Amino acid sequence: MTVAIGSSQKTLNNLFSFSSLATTLSTSILGASPSSSSSSSNSSSTISTLTNYSPSPSLSSSSTVTLTRFNHRRSSFDYGNDDDNIDNTGFKSEKLPVAGLSNLGNTCYMNSVLQALFATKPFRDYIMAHHENGQLYSALSRLFKEMSSSIRHGHVNPSQFRSTFIQLESKFNGCEQQDAQEFLSYVINDLHDELNKPKSRSRSNNTMIEPKSAQEAWSIYRSRYDDSKLVDIFVGQYASVIKCSYCGNESTCWDPFWDLPLPVPRNRNRIDIDECIAEFTAAEILDGNEQPFCSRCKQHRRSTKRLSIVRSPKILVIHLKKFSNNGYKLSSDINVNQQIRIDNGSTTMATYELYGCVCHHGYLSRSGHYTAYCQYDQQRWYHCDDQKVRDCTNSFSMATLKDSYVLFYRQQQLDHHYSSRL
């Protein structure tokens, strides 16, 4: 599998809290299920088998992090100079594509994610144009419509949406700073639960099925577990191959993902995004207590695991795991690429274009400040800092995103270059 950044290609050895690993559909050559790191604090979550499948986006946790109360101030961070004149209300005199959001007390994490979701056109169009049941869906639909219609009248107060959300997720109540990626996972998870309409969920379908291909595994996943519009937008599929180091037997599992939780290499001043992808897909040694059971050897054996993407989502969400277990952020700056290309195994090459980024400014996961950079019209970039939204196109560059935490890419094209498929 290869990922090309710009015009260059780099070979990946081995590739959505979103963190977002779901059902394991196994060929059962090796019986154990692989595990994957998936939270903002680099904690591990075990990929469940089909019979133990949890049919929703996985959630990141930072339970090992001590909560730190953050007294929100208007930001002292330097975001660069405004490109145009701003009136005395803090808004540009020309029409902006979206209104800002009031900070309700350390809710910059929420505001930045909501702005990035608003910039996600297929998601925004679905939320605003469709009339579905569900209290969170309705609350978000109202908020998006306010954000769209209030651009000349100041910022929007998102308190009604927040009240609805914390009725479902009480852990976000209070004034403590929260993790933006974790909030994103919970919002998508709860919306998906409201909209999920799988075609069949009878008890007879709870038996283990051993799919023989990625397409078969995907069909089972969509028909039995997750079938909402959000799956169409955000969910991709990866293949996990476990190889017995003793006899060479291989087992392939196909799993959906809602985002890619990319590890950030330590002790590096500056890192390219493709290095993070390569780290995520690198061969992993399964040894000791992690040894899977080999069906040929009839015992647990030391093995290797490799990951590769076989189905690219329309919207690719990348979560950079920049926080250590004690809540401190790794000091490495990330070189974000405006365009990335992902080779989907033997058949297709997906090209993605960056359109949104949630940035964390500070040193601790439960403090600091969140802002978002969003591209609403595929031409101009806007900086969203709570109630203030400004056009920053003239001063914007990829270097602006050195504090990036969650990246949003839209698929530009899907090139079919081979005839076979996994």
Q: 369 catalytic, yes or no?
A: yes
CA-based diameter of the chain, in Å? Answer: 74
Q: Which helix (H) or strand (E) holds 164?
A: helix 159-168
Question: Is 247 noted as a catalytic residue in this protein?
Answer: no
Q: Give the pLDDT confidence score for residue 132 in this predicted structure.
A: 77
Which 3 state secondary structure label does DSSP give 358? Answer: strand
Domains of the chain, earliest start first: 2-51+104-198+206-416 (3.90.70.10)
Residue 234's alpha-carbon distances to 79, 123, 242, 413, in angstroms, are 30, 9, 26, 16
- Among candidates 270, 265, 260, 192, which has minimal Cα distance to 231? 192
Torsion sign (Cα): 153, 155, 161, 163: negative
Predicted local distance difference test score (pLDDT) of residue 57: 45
Please report the pLDDT score of residue 173 as a whole number.
Answer: 93
Q: Give me the pLDDT at residue 415, please.
A: 66
Please spell the DSSP secondary structure of 367-405, one letter per residue. Answer: SSEEEEEEESSSS-EEEEETTEEEE-GGG--GGGGTTEE
Q: Taken in order 229, 374, 371, 363, is the CA torsion positive or negative?
A: positive
* pLDDT, tens digit only, all 422 positions of the chain: 444 444 333 333 333 333 333 333 333 333 343 333 333 443 333 323 333 333 444 333 333 332 222 333 333 333 333 444 344 444 444 577 889 999 999 999 999 999 999 999 999 999 998 777 899 999 999 999 999 887 666 789 999 999 999 999 999 998 889 999 999 999 999 999 999 987 655 444 556 678 888 889 999 999 888 989 999 999 999 999 999 999 999 999 999 999 999 988 777 777 888 888 888 888 999 999 999 999 999 999 999 999 989 999 999 999 998 887 777 887 777 889 999 988 776 567 889 999 999 999 988 877 899 999 999 877 899 999 999 999 998 888 888 888 899 999 999 876 655 433 33
pLDDT for 267 equals 72
The Cα–Cα gap between 353 and 357 comes to: 12
Active-site hit among 300, 319, 361, 369: 369
**Nearest one of 275, 363, 370, 263 to 321, comparing CA atoms:** 263
pTM for this predicted structure:
0.76
